Amino acid sequence: MSKTTLNLVRPFGPSVLKAKIPADIIEKLNNYIDGIIIDDEKSKNLNHGNKLVGDVTNEFKLENEILDSSGWKNFLQTCVKEWMSVELKETVTVFNILESWVVRQFKNEYNPTHWHSGHISGAGFLKLPETFGSYKQEKDQFYMGGRLQLIHGARMFLSPSTLNIKPEVGDFYFFPHYLMHTVFPFKGSDEERRSISFNARIDEKIFNVYGG
C-alpha cells in the first residue's frame, strides 16, 4: 500500500484526522459496489438502508472478505494507530471494525444530523457527481449541497461549532463516534455521490478517559 499523508485537524473540541484513501483501494471498493448493484440477490442481502437515518438510494454493508482483500481494513487500522500515537501518545493494540458501509446518494437525497456507535468512526468519498448544483440566488458563501458537515457544541467567540467539508474523491475523515454530522442534499446532476463510513472499537483503556 502506498504511503498515506495524514493531517490532524482541530476545528473545535474533538480532533479530526484527514487522510487520503490510496487509489488502488478506491478502485477495488468501487468495483465491488458496482458488482453488487447489478446482482439483485446480493444487493438485497447487503442493503442496510433500513437502518440508516437518512433518505438515500442504497446503503450497502461491506462484507468481511472485501474489508481485507481491498486493503480497506489495513488502511483504517494504520490511520487510527497513527492518529492515537500523535494525538494521545498511545499505542493501539485492539482494532475491531463493527461495520463498514457504502452510501449511494443521488440528487435531493440527504442524511440528517446523527452520530455513530463504537469508539472511532469516519466518512469519506469514493465517487462524486461532476457538479452538486448551486444556489437559486447569487450568494457570496459556498454552496452547501452535497457537503459533509461535522458538528460539535455551540458557536461562540473564536469557537466555531461546524466544519463544512467539500467532498473530494479519496478524502477520508476520522472522528470520535459521538461527533454529530450531516450530509446536505444536492441538485443539478443525476450522477451518484458515493461515500464510505465505518465504526470501530479500540483499546478500552485508551477510549475510556474517565478510567475505572
Question: Is the dihedral angle over the CA atoms 23, 37, 47, 53 positive or is it negative?
Answer: positive
From residue 139, alpha-carbon distances to 134, 136, 188, 197 in Å are 9, 9, 17, 31
In-domain check, residue 88: yes
Residue 177 lies in a domain: yes
9-43: per-residue pLDDT in tens?
665 578 899 999 999 999 999 999 999 998 888 88
How many distinct structural domains can be found in the chain? 1
Judged by DSSP in three states, 34 sits in: helix
Determine the Cα–Cα distance for residues 183 and 147; give it in Å rounded to an integer.
6
**The C-alpha cell that represents 95 in the structure block:** 482494532
> pLDDT under 70 in the chain at which residues?
1-3, 8-12, 49-53, 133, 135, 140, 212
Closest CA to 1 of 102, 78, 92, 95: 78
Is 211 within a domain? Answer: no
Domain CATH number, residue 115:
2.60.120.620
At 98 the pLDDT is 96
pLDDT value, residue 11: 53
pTM above 0.85, yes or no: yes
